[in-house]
Amino acid sequence: MIPDGGEQPLPVEAAGIVFCGGAAVHPSRFGQELDPNIKKAVDEARDTMEWALMTQALERQLPILGICRGFQFINVYLGGTLTQNLSAEGWLDDHRPDGSRDFLTHWVVASGGRLEGVYGNQPFLVNSIHRQGIRTLAPSLTATVMTQDGLVEGYEDREKKILAVQWHPEELISVASHQALFSAWLR
């Protein structure tokens, strides 16, 4: 752990990095003011720390995995934007920002890339514990998993070795395909 958002070099032995779930990415990182209706805290110190770690991971060409907040953070780092409150903007699928981590809430479909190789091309259920979502996908990323209402829930960048999902596969580890995601990430 790195206290107070300070910059810390990635260990020399690091074979990859996971940006996991947590507090929302501060909207100033993608050109917006903080929505006063958002209950969940932002963590600017974490944003700063992860920004530095992402820079190092890209410089070293390490495999990068994003989960939930990490999925959102990587998109913002690479130049994409987020919507701060999916339900306020009319998204139809049930994203349950305050829901149980092991409750499967909505269907997604993988199409193309490594994520289709992991999950197949048939709809599958995921848990969903997020309020923010991708508004604009960063130019270098390719959307490879979508909800039925068109929200990006998975993307990749083969050149930069990035794989990211909006849901929490670590909470569904008893499901073989979610286990397989972690193996696919390091390949």
Nearest Cα to Cα of residue 165 among 72, 80, 52: 72
The residue from 20, 44, 116, 170 that is catalytic is: 170
Catalytic residue (one of 95, 106, 130, 168): 168
Say how far apart CA 45 and CA 154 lie, in whole Å: 26
CA gap 123, 148 in Å, rounded: 9
| Structure tokens, 116 | 């289709």
Which DSSP state fits 18?
E
Residue given tokens 């390719």 in the structure block? 142
Helix (H) or strand (E) holding 77: helix 69-77
Q: Is 68 an active-site residue? A: yes
CB 165 within 8 A of CB 75: no
Catalytic residue, chosen from 68, 106, 153, 156, is 68
Q: Which residues pair with 18 in a beta bridge?
A: 65
* Neighbour count for residue 109 (Cβ, 10 Å): 18
Residue 110 — φ and ψ, nearest 5°? -90, 140
What residues are annotated to the active site? 68, 168, 170
